[in-house]
Amino acid sequence: MSFQIPIGPQHPALKEPISLRMTVEGEVITDVDMRLGYNHRGMEKLAEEKSWLQNIYVTERICGICSHSHATCYVQGVEKLMELAPPRRGLYIRYLVAELERVHSHLLWLGVAGHEAGFDSFFMYTWRDREIVMDLLEMISGNRVHYAINTLGGVRRDIDEGQKAKILEGVATLRKRSEYYFYIGANEPSFVARIAGVGYLSKESAIALCAVGPVARASGVARDVRKDDPCAVYGELDFEVATADTCDVLGRVVVRVKELLESYKLIEQMVKGLPAGDIAVKAPRKAKPGEVVSRYEAPRGENIHYIKANGTDKPERLKVRAPTLANYPATVEMLRKGFIADIPLIFAAIDPCICCAERTVTLVAAGSGEESVVRMSDLRRQALARHQNAPVKRNAVWPL
Instruction: Please report, as ranges, the residues that interact with another protein according to CB under 8 A.
Output: 3-6, 11-13, 24, 26-27, 50-51, 53-58, 60-61, 114-122, 124-125, 128, 131, 135, 138-139, 141-143, 146, 148, 151, 156-157, 180, 183-184, 187-194, 339-344, 392-396
Phi, psi of 248 (to 5 degrees): -125, -170
As a whole number of angstroms, the distance between CA 293 and CA 304 comes to 7
How near is the Cβ of 59 to another protein at its closest, in Å?
10
We find the least distance from the C-beta atom of residue 13 to another protein, in angstroms, to be 4
80 vs 156, beta carbon nearer another protein: 156
Q: Are 220 and 255 in contact (CB under 8 A)?
A: no
Nearer to another protein, 216 or 280 (CB): 280
Peptide bond into 86 cis (omega under 30): no
On whether the CB atoms of residues 270 and 99 are closer than 8 A, the answer is yes
Q: How far is the CB of 29 from another protein (least distance, A)?
A: 12
Instruction: Indicate the residue among 200 and 234 with the shorter CB distance to another protein.
Output: 200
SS3 call for 315? strand
Note whether 248 and 346 are within 8 A (CB).
no
Distance, CA of 303 to CA of 298 (rounded, Å): 6
Residue type, 235: G
* Residue (6 or 290) nearer to another protein, CB: 6
In the complex, least distance from residue 31 CB atom to another protein, rounded to whole angstroms: 15
> What is the rounded CA–CA span in Å between residue 249 and residue 194?
9
CB of 141 to another protein, least distance (A): 8
Q: Name which of 160 and 371 has its Cβ closer to another protein.
A: 160
Alpha helices in the chain (DSSP H): 43-47, 52-60, 67-82, 88-116, 120-141, 161-187, 189-195, 203-208, 213-218, 225-228, 249-272, 323-335, 343-349, 354-357, 376-389
From the CB of 57, what's the least distance to another protein, in Å? 4
Q: CB nearer to another protein: give 52 or 264.
A: 52
Are 356 and 63 contacting, i.e. CB atoms less than 8 angstroms apart? yes
Least CB distance to another protein at residue 200 (A):
15
Cβ closest to another protein, residue 108 vs residue 266: 108
